[in-house]
Structure 1
């Protein structure tokens, strides 16, 4: 359960937060 939970959270975090943080913080931070 711990491994399954971590795998699910790890896959959803980098996929959603990773793209949002990189796509949002990178262009905004680089632009500003």
Structure 2
């Protein structure tokens, strides 16, 4: 789990990452 500073309910948070094996992924979550 993670916390987002300054986020309000209904805000969308997008996260993109690439790990050291070259795998990439993305996630989008809506703060409840």
Q: What TM-score does the superposition give when structure 2 sets the normalisation length? A: 0.18
Name the structure where strand makes up a greater proportion of residues. 2
Give the number of the structure with larger relative contact order, counting CA–CA contacts within 8 Å between residues 6 or more apart.
Answer: 2
Higher gyration radius (CA): 1
